[in-house]
Amino acid sequence: MPDLSRVDVTDAAAALLRDLTAKHGPLMFHQSGGCCDGSSPMCYPVGMFLTGPSDVHLGSIDVGLDDPIEVYMSESQFEYWKFTHLTIDVVPGRGAGFSVEGPTGMRFLVRSRMLTEEEAVAFGVAV
């Protein structure tokens, strides 16, 4: 079976993440569940946002650095998204207030698709 992942990254987002890592050090994502910043993927320097037992590790994205960037989501939010694959992308616009891309004139967003049957079985969410 091929290596399956719940998360991926576009080339454009990977390039921005390499630049941001050079400036801020190692980074991580937490997929926001709403409120102030909508449902944007929030990017933080590692250690600035603490995950806990109510967070789900969705996977890691390889952006061409020594270490991958980890991606998390709250358990309650995951219940709504467990049948989807997320791709982190970047577009021009104002970034989320607490996310490190905020001052760059770019903002991260997620593009989603339904899991394939093979992915759903592998992740234990097949119906």
pLDDT digits (tens, 9 = 90+) for 97-116: 789 998 999 999 999 999 99
83-99: string of b/e by CB count within 10 Å (b at 16+)?
ebbbebbbeeeebbebb
Predicted pLDDT at 35: 59
**Both tokens assigned to 118:** 């093979």
DSSP symbol at 96: P
Name the residue among 121, 126, 125 with its Cα closest to residue 2.
Answer: 121
What is this structure's pTM?
Answer: 0.91
Residues 6+ positions from 97 with CB-CB distance below 8 Å: 36, 37
One pLDDT digit (tens) per residue for the chain, 127 residues: 457 999 999 999 999 999 999 999 999 999 866 655 557 899 999 999 999 999 999 999 999 999 999 999 999 899 999 999 999 999 998 866 789 998 999 999 999 999 999 999 999 998 7
